[in-house]
Amino acid sequence: MKTAASLIVFFCVLFSGSECFSDAASAVSPAVSRPNIVLVVFDSLRADHLGCYGYHRPTSPAIDSFAASAVRFAFACASSSWTQPSVMSLFTSLPPELHGRTSPSSKHDPDAPALASELSALGYETVAITANPMLHRRYGYSKGFRHYDDYSVFMDVGSASDKAARKSAMDPVVTRLASAKIKNRDSSKPLFMLVFYMDPHWDYLPRPPYDADFGAAGYPAPSILSLSGKPAAAALSDRVVRAYDAEIRGSDDAFASLLEVIDSSLGSNRTAVVLCADHGESFWEHRNFTAHGNDLYDEELHVPLIIRPPAGVPFVPGSVVSGQAALVDVAPTLVAIAGGTPPASWAGRSLLASFVSGTADPVPVILDTSASGRHRRGVRDGNWKLIADSPFDSPSEVYNLASDPDETNNLFADGAPLPSGAASLVPFLKPGGAEIRASAKENMP
């Protein structure tokens, strides 16, 4: 029966596209058990610092091996360059303008359908283990989770205790807690679990023995934020990056341990595993910025996205999907894998068709950050990126990503017409642009 269902879905994708795939998944789901789903998110993890994305240091052997068994997206775009708006976009499949969580003091939309709520309605046991105080339940991230361990229930978020939380909530502890929940789950229900790792986050303090990796030993551990906006000597910037890479190496081992438990306890054929990050990290590429939340350049937005589907979902292990995917696409994809129908209000699209086609057609992703005290909004469609300052009437920066992937040549000039491809994206910057993006979903590939 599983073979027949897989063939139905395969030919539906091959000849009819992604919309048909969602319908087919819903149609066959009563005949097969819903798969378990584990969503693994790393804080501050740049895609281009992983071996499977071409990095020169061996930071990620376990993630690289996982990618060889899964589908890897060449470019996945976060909705923001810092945690709160980006993760809320991941959960709600909405750009920051629509979900509202753009800062700790902003009001999010409590009625926006969330991934965990949708999966709970499909019969899933919903569990989250997160090490980041910025994902405290008071900010609305626990919606739909039956068990939400946010590591900071008794902490004053925003205080000095945040730093203590980052030190105590190391990746091995997160793996231990997640593993225990997997082993002691309610086996009568499929499991949806979020595992959020914090360790790649600044100040880049790799734990032993990783503190000796890549020449990171003796790293002086300056406050990264104190360096942001200031030029750095090559020797210092090199040591900062080496320490960051050493943290990634430690996180990779934590992921290896978690994946072993997932496969042995849940079954690799019965479990969808998704690996991504909430945002990237900057190292003096633009305006001497370090860390994240500063701006909307790709070093802070390009995140890994690797999906290993369960049995019954057609894909080619080790394949790489070209084009532009986005974190807002993750929730629709997982609901479709579960056999459900993504809410019509979600701005993202299911990526299941791209598992077979090998291409994710670039569609506009709306970007937003205000963590540095300067509210900026952007839009990226794979060919062009526009960035604007409030009130977002017109862009102040325009980049042709095909010819200028490092975003070093700003094509904007006062009074000069924009290139046609860039001009068509201007409405997405303005207030209400997110609604244009959401309402236009029916016409997207």
The CATH code of the domain that includes 72 is 3.40.720.10
Phi, psi of 401 (to 5 degrees): -70, -25
State phi, psi for 127 to the nearest 5 degrees: -135, 140
Domain boundary residue among 357, 377, 408? Answer: 357
pLDDT in tens, 250-265: 999 999 999 999 999 9
Residue 19 gets which letter from DSSP?
H
- Going by the DSSP 8-state scheme, the letter that residue 60 receives in this structure is -
Are 353 and 386 in the same domain?
no
Q: pLDDT digits over 206-220, tens only?
A: 888 999 999 887 766
Judge if 352 and 374 occupy the same domain.
no
Please report whether residue 23 resides in a domain.
no
Domain count, the chain: 2
363 is a domain residue? no
Integer Cα distance of 89 and 394 in angstroms: 24
> Do 214 and 264 have their domain in common?
yes
Phi, then psi, of 128 in degrees rounded to 5: -130, 135
pLDDT at 28 over 80: no
Q: Is residue 140 part of a domain?
A: yes
Q: Which residues pair with 192 in a beta bridge?
A: 37, 126
Q: Is 150 found in the same domain as 298? A: yes
206 and 67 share a domain? yes
**For position 323, what pLDDT does the model report?**
96
Contacts of the segment 282-286: beta carbons below 8 A, 24+ positions apart: 283/237, 283/240, 283/241, 283/244, 284/231, 284/232, 284/237, 285/406, 286/407
- Asked whether residue 334 falls in the same domain as residue 435, the answer is no
Residue type, 307: I
The range of the structural domain enclosing residue 405 comes to: 368-443
Would you say residue 371 has pLDDT above 90?
A: no
Among the residue ranges 80-84, 251-255, 284-288, 313-317, the one predicted with the least confidence is: 284-288
Q: Say whether both 341 and 391 belong to one domain.
A: no
Across-strand partners of 267?
Answer: none
**Same structural domain, 281 and 349:** yes
Distance CA 338, CA 299 (A): 32
Is 334 within the bounds of a domain?
yes
Q: In terms of domains, do 439 and 324 share one?
A: no
In a domain, 12, yes or no: no
Q: Mark which of 306, 328, 357 sits at the end of a domain.
A: 357
Q: What percent of the chain has pLDDT over 90?
A: 61
Same domain, 345 and 406: no
Distance CA 388, CA 150 (A): 34
Domain-ending residue, one of 357, 383, 409 = 357
Statement to judge: residues 229 and 179 lie in one domain:
yes
Instruction: Identify whether residues 376 and 347 lie together within a single domain.
Output: no
Where does residue 235 rank: exposed (0-12), middle (13-18), buried (19+ CB within 10 A)? exposed
Query: Is residue 228 over pLDDT 50?
Result: yes
